[in-house]
Chains A and B, each alone.
Chain A
Amino acid sequence: MLANLLPNVQWEKMWAATVETLYMTGMAVAATFVLGIVLGLLLFLTAKGNLWENRFVNTVIAAFVNIFRSIPFIILIILLIPFTTWLVGTMLGANAALPALIIGAAPFYARMVEIALREIDKGVIEAAQAMGASTWTIIWKVLLPESLPALVSGITVTAVSLVSYTAMAGAIGAGGLGNLAYLEGFQRNHNDVTFVATVLVLVIVFVIQLIGDVVTSKIDKR
């Protein structure tokens, strides 16, 4: 019956595309999480009145973040083609999508990290300093744990955006559900393929959001 309703869907291809999308999203989320936190911490710590107050570094990072956050993703992929071919050796396949995905998402997430860190009560940082904590200790034991729920909900939002970024990257040859929907569904006019690919993307997004919400509420003790 399924075959009658969806005559053009080849389930093996569909499954392979799903795995590719999950792979791209997973790798990009992991890298974005780390890179975003590093950038966000730097933005926060070098801001006025904070531990590493440094106007120059702050301005440079803020400019970098703002520029890469503002470039539309589809254009960013094209701009990064030379960089990607130099780094990965090809412009095709899931791995080739990763540099653009990470560079597109990390600055976005860095801003969220910065906002999360700014929400932390300054008094708590002062208390840690008064106890003789080093900046390193403050980062690991105060800043990150105290902002963790916001960091997790932020990465959830970013992960959802990353899923749609992978679809865009797919359109220009990175593979995954976006690629399949574009080549098989749109160009060959197989609407059932587009439909199934869309449903699978939705399922991925829902699962990501669910995991994010559950983890956030579990670690939030406020």
Chain B
Amino acid sequence: MITLEQVTKIYQAANGSVTAVDNVSLEIREGEIFGIIGYSGAGKSTLIRLLNGLEKPTKGRVVVAGCDMTRVKGRELRKARQEIGMIFQHFNLLWSRTVRENIAFPLEIAGVPKAERQKRVDELIELVGLAGREDAYPSQLSGGQKQRVGIARALANNPKVLLCDEATSALDPQTTDAILDLLVDINKRLGLTIVLITHEMHVIRKICDRVAVMESGRIVEQGDVLHVFRNPQQPITKRFVKQLIEPEETEEAISHLFGQYPSGLIAQLTFVGAAAGKPLISQVVRQFAVDINILQGKISQTHQGAYGVLFIHLDGAADEIARALDYIQRQQVEVEVIHDAR
């Protein structure tokens, strides 16, 4: 659906040139939700703007839905952009227009007749769950509602691709989840290809099929979300994964417990997309002669499995403990012994 071939974007600044996107090649499949994660300044904003021609690459080729975005100009480019919806971190709604008029705007641009426009706007309002707020102005809406208007507006011309530029970064956690659910719903229902950029790992975890990690203009790692999370190769990827599964203070918080357990060992179990719903702990206790005490932990369930970390105290005969740890490891759970009192 989207192909980037060795795309480079160099900005000329007063004090030399800046390479925002550095020789990036990418293949995004039809109907998938593709996430690009990176810290600010990594070049992901530029990258997503290359996809709808808001930025032109210095080198390379960008093909979206069969249209070479680097070649088309004028009317053709505007036509191509109508096939690509975009939503923004700060929503970018027209404050002078009501919800209804904002959603109608792209239809006006596309030259849709008035009666048809009305009908389409009604459908979209229903789709994004804004019924009852049609005649409100953006200033009267909450952040989540504004982003819903943004989404409806982006979908108005039945695009093939939806670009999300930090679409949830200005929203609180609950609203973020609601918007992400809406995006998944749209992806499933309309078969829309979604490309999103973010610096928040949980956005990737929650809805993306595949992910690319960006650092200083380059894609340093990419693949299935699960695969990348399980075997992060690059330091930056490891940092992102760590941010997701392990609150930073946890290891310190647990260290003061070491003295309280004179026997056995304390292990950290890291769940990255482990088979959900499997009663791991009780199986271990049943199969091996060990005692398990859960000290601390946080596990969250997603449609790709469980993510999180669990600190446990294991006690028993040495060989039983070793077998138990081995068993846990085979369940796609990473085990790290952080304190051995034996």
Please determine whether chains A and B interact with each other in the same assembly.
yes
Binding site for B on A (CB under 8 A): 121, 123-124, 126-134, 137, 141-142, 145-146, 148, 219, 221-222
- Alpha-carbon distance between A126 and B78 when the two chains are bound, in angstroms: 13
Residues of chain B lying within 8 A (CB to CB) of residue A128: 105, 109
Q: Which of these, B78, B90, B95, B106, contacts A221 with CB under 8 Å?
A: B95
Contacts A132-B79, A132-B109 known; A145 to B88 CB distance under 8 Å? no
Residues of chain B lying within 8 A (CB to CB) of residue A133: 78, 109
Q: Which of these, B84, B97, B106, B138, contacts A145 with CB under 8 Å?
A: B97
Residues of chain A lying within 8 A (CB to CB) of residue B106: 131-132
- Alpha-carbon distance between A131 and B103 when the two chains are bound, in angstroms: 11
Nearest B residue to A142, CB-CB: B94
- Alpha-carbon distance between A210 and B139 when the two chains are bound, in angstroms: 25
Residues of chain A lying within 8 A (CB to CB) of residue B110: 132
- Alpha-carbon distance between A134 and B76 when the two chains are bound, in angstroms: 11
CB distance from A125 to the nearest CB of B (A): 9
**Total A-B pairs, Cβ < 8 A:** 65
- State the interface size on chain B (CB cutoff 8 A): 29
**Does A131 contact B92, Cβ atoms closer than 8 Å?**
no
- Alpha-carbon distance between A124 and B97 when the two chains are bound, in angstroms: 12
- Alpha-carbon distance between A33 and B105 when the two chains are bound, in angstroms: 26
Q: A123-B90, A131-B109 are in contact. List 6 more A-B contacts (CB 8 A).
A: A126-B92, A130-B86, A141-B108, A145-B97, A221-B95, A222-B139
- Alpha-carbon distance between A137 and B97 when the two chains are bound, in angstroms: 15
B261 interfacial contact with A, CB 8 Å: no
**Does B81 contact A131, Cβ atoms closer than 8 Å?**
yes
**Does A146 contact B95, Cβ atoms closer than 8 Å?**
yes
B54 interfacial contact with A, CB 8 Å: yes
**Does B93 contact A124, Cβ atoms closer than 8 Å?**
yes
B282 interfacial contact with A, CB 8 Å: no
**Does B86 contact A145, Cβ atoms closer than 8 Å?**
no
**Does A222 contact B95, Cβ atoms closer than 8 Å?**
yes
Nearest A residue to B108, CB-CB: A141
CB distance from A141 to the nearest CB of B (A): 7
Residues of chain B lying within 8 A (CB to CB) of residue A219: 96
The interface bits of chain B over 102-114 (1 if a CB of A lies within 8 angstroms of the residue's CB, else 0) are 0001101110000
Residues of chain B lying within 8 A (CB to CB) of residue A130: 52, 54, 81, 84, 86, 163
**Does B82 contact A131, Cβ atoms closer than 8 Å?**
yes
Residues of chain B lying within 8 A (CB to CB) of residue A222: 95, 139
CB distance from B224 to the nearest CB of A (A): 29
**Does B94 contact A124, Cβ atoms closer than 8 Å?**
yes
Residues of chain A lying within 8 A (CB to CB) of residue B54: 126, 129-130
- Alpha-carbon distance between A132 and B93 when the two chains are bound, in angstroms: 15
Between A123, A142, A221, the greatest number of chain B beta carbons within 10 A of the residue's beta carbon is seen for A221
B137 interfacial contact with A, CB 8 Å: yes
- Alpha-carbon distance between A148 and B78 when the two chains are bound, in angstroms: 26
Jot down 27 A-B pairs with beta carbons below 8 A, ordered by A: A121-B90, A123-B92, A124-B93, A124-B94, A126-B54, A126-B88, A126-B92, A129-B81, A130-B54, A130-B81, A130-B84, A130-B86, A131-B81, A131-B86, A132-B82, A133-B78, A133-B109, A134-B78, A137-B108, A141-B105, A142-B94, A146-B95, A148-B96, A221-B96, A221-B138, A221-B139, A222-B139
